[in-house]
Chains A and B, each alone.
Chain A
Amino acid sequence: MTSNTSTDLRQAAEGHRPSAASRGVYEYVVLSAAGLFAIISLYFVGSIVWQALPAIRHQGLYLLTGTSWVSGGATPALSKFGGLSMITGTIETSLIAIVIAVVVGTGTSLAINLLLPSWMRTIAATTVELLAAIPSVVYGVWGMLVLAPLVISTVGPFLNSLPGGNAVFGTVVAGQSLLLAGFVLAIMVLPTYVAISREVIGAVPHELIEASLSLGATRWQTIWKTILPTGRVGLLGAGALALGRALGETVAVVLVIGQVNQLNFRPLQPGVTLASWIASQWGEAIGSDQMNALFALGALLMAASLGVSFISTRLVSRQRSLVNR
């Protein structure tokens, strides 16, 4: 039986022994697919920067520091496109999202690895993947139709009733706000963070956990002094990956942030992000100098998210090589 199979294999191998040319074809095809992707990637970066250039030329630093966004229409010289509110809005919502996602996600990963019985671990892992499979527009609709009314009726008034609540959080007017956007983003990037952090925490060698406990450490001391420090590089990478996703999320943010071009710093106030502004202004901008300004915002977003994405993949692979040493 075994010898039969190997003869078959040999015959198959000989029967199909490729000529030098056909071997070349296989490798050529595979390589050219790879090359095509490299070209597409370069072209992707290039065309966004290219379309951004006119705006960068005309607006200059105002793109980064300005706060008004007015189109001059037929006289482009009158156009003013300032992206400061979008930049701050992006940073604020991503920050809220990442803080919530890292705290909740780390706790979740610890619970999955250390607290749940093993049969529930698979269920939890699948659940996390299901969360990641829900389209972002669905989260946006949920945030807009279900959560925003809650912010008006309950969360906002509660935060405002705290001492200094109005000064810190801003007075609630609509449910759509930086806070709600940050919260919805947190839910959306949580699966990304947990997928990696679960793996990182699960890969901490069991011997280290036992060493810690055998010295008389409590469970939390073991987590805080042994597990988290051992996984810190990977957890940082997971956080960066989640941050990259939060920075670039578009449609869900449009629906829950309020889409107001204002420089706001209080969580209950509405705002706008780079991505959400591109999406919402697109219709009126096509073909005009405003479109180039939106491309410029896109280029900024691209620089930030590709940078963060690059760093995160480096960190995660460094953690893998640390643990597998």
Chain B
Amino acid sequence: MTVTIKDAEIREHLRERSVATLRRRTYISGVMTALCWLAITFAAVPLVAVIYQLLRRGIPVIVKSGFFTTLPQQPTIFDANNTGGVSNALVGSLAVIVYAALFAVPIGVLMGVYLAESTSKFASLLRIITATMVGAPSILMGLFAFEVVVQQMHVGFSIIAGSFGLAVLVLPVLATATEIAIRNVPSTYREAGLALGAKPSTTSLKIVLPAASTGIVSGIILALSRAVGETAPILLVIGGAYAIAWHPNQAASALPFQMFQDVQSNYPSLQNETWGIALVLVGAVFIISFAARLWAARKKKVQR
């Protein structure tokens, strides 16, 4: 590079350009800033809109007598508003999630402990697998549950098949939450334990895990409360039933399952009913996650 332009020329060109482009630069910056405001408004609109609809159309549904306690009815041409309730779906959802938790929580938490504590090659491979599995589409869990539980185990369409699908879905989430909670425990805790002569396993069980328990428990609650709203993993295998069922081998309904069915029916009254179920689902998830967060924050304060 050979300099043919003098410093004075550079300076003059710079000042000239700076002044000439100032208005445009300022204007573009203003417009783009406004667009960022617009973006965040746009992002908030669906939440407000959905919640508004849930409350406006959902509340009349859930205050209807028998909504929570009676079985669903098929509307007829004589009584188009005869939709009944969701008692079976409510029981089914609870049963599905409880069985899923029984399977997924112990494995997920133990596996999270392993991921947090091990430095082996297998652990780093498993971390990659876990992160990848978090992104697996939930409909595939339905196919998997069908293959394993319905076909290979000859259980048939059942609550337990749905639980299996949900469990596989939440396993990597639980493991990751546990791993993070344990990693957030200050390393001095572990060092103190080891310095006192405790075995690594004792240190983990008696010092590290108790310190991480708040994070682990709130992680479990958040993951499970979200799993209750999942439709795809149970859609293919739960069978759908118009009776109360909680035995693992029975076919059953579930809240999101029933929503999915009802909204596709030809009866406006059944379609409308889905707003009530949606309100129950969303309300439950919001309240539970909020309570879990509050509890975790409170716990943390006490510990300090």
Chain A residues within 8 Å of B, Cβ to Cβ: 6, 9-10, 12-14, 16-18, 22-23, 26-27, 29-31, 33-34, 36-38, 40-41, 43-44, 47-48, 50-51, 103-108, 110-112, 114-116, 124, 127-131, 133-142, 144-146, 187, 190, 194, 216, 218-221, 223, 241, 244-245, 247-251, 254-255, 275, 278-279, 282, 294-295, 298, 301-302, 305-306, 308-310, 312-313
CB pairs A–B below 8 angstroms (12 shown): A38-B126, A51-B143, A112-B40, A135-B226, A135-B281, A135-B282, A136-B231, A138-B229, A220-B33, A275-B137, A278-B236, A279-B235
The answer to the question of B80 belonging to the interface, with a C-beta cut-off of 8 Å to chain A, is: no
Contacts of A294 in B (CB 8 A): 143
Point out the residues of chain B lying under 8 angstroms from A33, CB to CB. Answer: 106-111, 113-114
Q: How far is the CA of A128 from the CA of B196 in the complex (A)?
A: 44
Give complex CA distance A244, B132 in Å. Answer: 10
Task: Return A68 CB to nearest CB of chain B, in Å.
Answer: 23
Q: Given A37-B108, A37-B130, A111-B39, list of 10 further CB < 8 A pairs?
A: A13-B196, A16-B206, A17-B199, A34-B114, A44-B168, A104-B43, A137-B229, A218-B28, A295-B143, A301-B137
Decide: A37 and B175 in contact? CB cutoff 8 A.
Answer: yes
Secondary structure of the B contact surface, majority rule: helix
Chain A residues, Cβ within 8 Å of B256: 135, 137, 251
Give the complex CA separation of A229 and B249 in angstroms: 55
Q: Which residues of chain A come closer than 8 Å to B260, judged between CB atoms?
A: 137, 140, 251, 254-255
Q: Are B43 and A48 in contact (CB under 8 A)?
A: no
* Cα A130 to Cα B259 with chains together (Å): 20
Cβ-defined contact, B111 with A279, below 8 A: no
Assembled-state Cα–Cα distance A22/B198 (Å): 13
> What sequence of 0s and 1s flags, for each residue 99-138 of chain B, a beta carbon within 8 Å of any chain A beta carbon?
0000000111111011101100011001011111111111
**B136 lies within 8 A of A309 (CB):** yes
Is B29 touching A220 in the complex (CB atoms < 8 A)? yes
Q: How far apart are the CA atoms of A305 and B196 in the complex, in Å?
A: 48
Chain A residues whose C-beta falls within 8 Å of the C-beta of B264 in the assembled complex: 255
* Bound Cα distance A130, B278 (Å): 14
